Amino acid sequence: MKAGLIGLGNMGLPMARNLVKAGHALTVYNRKQSRADELKAVVERVARTPAEAASNVEALITMVADDRAVEAIVFNPEGVLQALPAGAVHISMSTISVEMSRRLATAHSERGQHFIAAPVFGRPDAAAAAKLFVVAAGPAEQIARCRPIFDAVGQKTFVAGEQAPAANVIKLTGNFLITTVIESLAESFSLVRKFGIAPGALLEILTGTLFDAPVYRNYGAMIASDKFEPGGFRLRLGLKDNRLLIAAADDAAVPIPMAALVHDRLVAALAQGMGEDDWASVARIAYKNAGL
């Protein structure tokens, strides 16, 4: 497909490489120009503005940090919304709010454009290996049209229905569950350490019996070794996602007390300078509270 990609961070850059490898004609844009220039030799074009990246494409992918970034590149008077051709599709692969997803779906529809929410599960190493899991929601015919893009960056695509915000709710819920695993591992390792048991020994038993899953193995290993730098997924972004989850739950009148506990842990970690560390570093708050 003739595609554009805006956002070349830890996830967007390897996704761009995989799209090119799969044969898509790609235009890229990144706020920091030097990052985009890394791809100059392999992409069709390095755009100088978001609007330039959105013009003359069949599909535009955005992979940016938050709602504020989406607002700036899409709803700016000279932004994506004005430049994207009629009939083209905007694929938002970022973790954004449910409300922003609704706004995007409405705004694109009013201009004769299409919108798909397609956030992904996976860390930068999975993005590099084209092993992301894509959760897509939007018009069925547009999801089918964009399958080659999803296949280029991921190992499996799940379709969550025709209402785009459904994919964003699922993504936020998945990230919430990861934070509860991180918190429970941190508390469990704090307990065994107080009894002189190595966290690694507990982790081996847990992942070899009851909890044989990547989320326990990967985050458990980080917490057991107390090594969180460099951050594969930065704690400040985890806090952003937690806030989006709580906002969605409030809007739907769903009590979600575990999210409030996680929120306070993340804020405490942020206050202690861990914002750029991996979000699993929140475990240090549990260790500190246990006197470790």
Q: Is residue 242 scored above 90 in pLDDT?
A: yes
Summarize the confidence of residues 205-212 as an average pLDDT.
97
Out of 1.10.1470.10, 2.60.40.10, 3.20.20.80, 1.10.1040.10, the CATH code matching 169-289 is 1.10.1040.10
Write the CATH number of the domain with boundaries 2-163.
3.40.50.720
Quick one: pLDDT band at residue 78, thresholds 50, 70, 90? confident
Query: Which of 40, 131, 156, 171 is an active site residue?
Result: 171
User: Which residues in the chain are classed under CATH 3.40.50.720?
Assistant: 2-163
Instruction: Calculate mean pLDDT across residues 205-233.
Output: 93
Classify residue 208 as exposed, middle or buried by CB count within 10 Å of its CB (0-12, 13-18, 19+). exposed
Taking 90 as the threshold, does the pLDDT of residue 224 lie above it?
yes
Residue 73 pLDDT grade (very low, low, confident, very high; cuts 50, 70, 90)? very high
pLDDT over 90 at 141, yes or no: yes
Query: Quick one: 250 exposed, middle or buried, by C-beta within 10 A (0-12, 13-18, 19+)?
Result: exposed
Euclidean distance between CA atoms 143 and 106, whole angstroms: 17
Give the C-alpha separation, 121 to 127, whole Å.
9
pLDDT at 109 over 80: yes
152 pLDDT band, cuts 50/70/90, is very high
pTM across the whole model: 0.95
171 is catalytic: yes
123 within 8 A of 233, measured Cβ to Cβ: yes
Strand residues in 165-287 grouped as ranges (E): none
Q: Is the dihedral of CA 35, 40, 43, 49 positive or negative?
A: positive
